[in-house]
Structure 1
């Protein structure tokens, strides 16, 4: 029995060695298989860097303004009795916007009417007196001075009647003005009043923005102002509707540059029947300023931006190469490339979030690049 123990130990060592070697071989094999899986080419779509025609445009930023911005305010102090509109509500010319308490004004109108009746009665008396003195003067029963005095009283009474009617007209006008109405077709904005609030003359209560047409207001530098001419067509875009363009024309050019900026204020009129453009929006305006020119471009989908820098993945020997580029303007669905890659190079335009620098690539359809 003692002689058999070394043999058992030897067999156990041999078995353990075989198990260890098998484990190592399996791990190496698995690692090789995983490595082969890891280097499987990623199917992507590619596009060639190519030349395209770029319009020679002057790109500007500006702000949308209503053609007319009517500030609604009261001509006299009063308390708000009723508000009939809300922000964003469309109104037409003459629409009642709000009404002031006019009880005191109605009293003033009644007093003015009473003053008219009193002045008219005084005038009637003065006219009768004058006629009597006139007849007596013809009979030499009164002096000329008495006749002239009666005539002066009659004229004074006529003036008092005219003044009373003027006061009545003013009182009636104030009652009419107690109902504030829209002076233009437009949309209510910036409403700042509430029912019961006492307002002062001239205080802005709301505005009516006429936005069936709008201005896009831009500032143009001295060196570029020669390209801006009245009637020149301009394309306008806003971030709110990235897929839409709005056609406009230059309608107003301020002939005097700003004293500080030395830039010229220019207004671009844009039809806005659908009222998509709102006052205060930022807008981008593209003014065609000359002949087109050829530039290198790639599809917009190929571009990546990281920390303010712009990159594309270039297919080079079947692998992805992350390449820094300098970009220019957007031309439809293409992006101008000023530096970084040359004509004919293939760039990846999809699966950008799945690619790393150096990954193997295969073009859509199985063509390796």
Structure 2
């Protein structure tokens, strides 16, 4: 009996401790429940996650280029005498852009003209001599060898006349090339020359951009190239004109992908009669890729972001549940949701700055979108 008393005493102490801990835990739990009941639920409005049609488009980025970009250079080495245009000036095809100093060329032309006169005089003399010897040969007054010699001199004089005219034409052509003209109608750009500057043949002096129509040049990946078809309509926007769009047409598709990028270069022709689009501008192009798709979407104002992550609050069983989502494109005032939500979920759209995960919610309204 004495050996059993310590064992009973231990059991009694253990039982008392168990009762004490259980009572304390119950009181704490009861206090938490009372505190929870004392907090009023937050009134919110929800919107059901639903499917909505989304345009099946291919969005591309590119650069505006002139329909024709002509690099203007001189055919001759020489000194710039006049510059008749400035950057941004509209010009017509054939307009003189600048001239070279042609004094030496003019002297060369006069020498060529004098050479023409001299060779023509020699040829005329040779013709007269040949006719005279021809008549004498008919009277047996000269030998056949003498006649042939005079005839050869006359032919040689004729060749010299032709050569003199060729030299004259070259001299006149060089003088004409001293006036540098535009091969296209467009706008002057990138003028990089001054009066008195000595230029070399082939050096670009300025460019003339034909911009009454322009190309928006984009690069399309191999997986999307089937979407681009000649004649397809494309919508183009640029940051310079917010809210304004331009309509273009696919006109050029490079049949060979780039060696490094493995992307296909595509040109979209856009009417630019008001010359709003300038070569070098960054542009965004939207190409219709097929029939509209059905996607999940929620109002944009339901979306919250933190440290690069996007999340929403969903009302479930009277409580707020924070859910991370993967977003897609904007569709008007909606935003596409690629992952995280299902059709029918009630997404909270107001009082978002007051909600924490697990808060009690009172749905005062539900908007059916």
Q: TM-score, normalised by structure 1?
A: 0.76
Matched residue SS, 1:231: coil
Q: 2:155, 2:62 → 1: CA distance?
A: 64
Match of 1:330 in 2: 330
Q: 1:327-366 maps to which residues of 2 (within 5 A)? A: 327-341=327-341, 345=346, 355=353
Q: 1:284-317: CA deviations, max 9, x gaps?
A: 2222111111223345576676654446688999
Corresponding position: 1:276 with 2:270: no
Q: 1:348, 1:94 → 2: CA distance?
A: 64
Q: 1:347, 1:187 → 2: CA distance?
A: 55
Which structure 1 segments of 5+ residues have no match? Answer: 1-38, 361-365
Is the CA contact 1:236–1:246 (under 8 Å) kept in the aligned structure 2? yes
Q: 1:99-144: CA deviations, max 9, x gaps?
A: 1111111111111111111111111111111111111111111111
Matched residue SS, 1:337: strand
Q: 1:190-226: CA deviations, max 9, x gaps?
A: 1111111110001011111111111111222222222
Q: 1:301, 1:242 → 2: CA distance?
A: 22
Which deviates more from structure 2 when the two are superposed, residues 329-338 or residues 157-166?
329-338
Q: 1:85-234 maps to which residues of 2 (within 5 A)? A: 85-234=85-234
Matched residue SS, 1:192: coil
Shift of 1:242: 3.0
Is the CA contact 1:87–1:187 (under 8 Å) kept in the aligned structure 2? yes
CA RMSD between the two structures: 3.4
Matched residue SS, 1:99: strand
Q: 1:256-306: CA deviations, max 9, x gaps?
A: 222232222211111111212111222222221111112233455766766
Match of 1:258 in 2: 258
Matched residue SS, 2:259: coil
Q: 1:211, 1:126 → 2: CA distance?
A: 60
Q: 2:305, 2:165 → 1: CA distance?
A: 76
Q: 1:114, 1:329 → 2: CA distance?
A: 78
Q: 2:151, 2:299 → 1: CA distance?
A: 95
Q: 1:69-101: CA deviations, max 9, x gaps?
A: 111000010111111212222212122211111
Match of 2:57 in 1: 57
Matched residue SS, 2:290: strand
Matched residue SS, 2:202: coil
Q: How many residues align?
A: 322
Q: TM-score, normalised by structure 2?
A: 0.76
Q: 2:50, 2:317 → 1: CA distance?
A: 20
Is the CA contact 2:312–2:347 (under 8 Å) kept in the aligned structure 1? no
Is the CA contact 2:58–2:287 (under 8 Å) kept in the aligned structure 1? yes
Q: 2:189, 2:320 → 1: CA distance?
A: 54
Q: 2:94, 2:206 → 1: CA distance?
A: 15
Q: 1:87, 1:333 → 2: CA distance?
A: 43
Matched residue SS, 1:291: coil
Q: 2:337, 2:115 → 1: CA distance?
A: 83
Shift of 1:52: 2.6
Which deviates more from structure 2 when the two are superposed, residues 306-315 or residues 71-80?
306-315
- Quick one: structure 1 residues 62 and 197, their matched pair in 2 at CA, closer, same or farther if it must change by over 3 Å? same
Match of 2:18 in 1: none
Is the CA contact 2:299–2:349 (under 8 Å) kept in the aligned structure 1? no
- Quick one: structure 1 residues 136 and 249, their matched pair in 2 at CA, closer, same or farther if it must change by over 3 Å? same
Q: 1:120-177: CA deviations, max 9, x gaps?
A: 1111111111111111111111111211111111111111111211221221122122
Matched residue SS, 1:212: strand
Is the CA contact 1:326–1:340 (under 8 Å) kept in the aligned structure 2? yes
Q: 1:249, 1:65 → 2: CA distance?
A: 14
Q: 1:35-66: CA deviations, max 9, x gaps?
A: xxxx9x99x99977554321111222222111
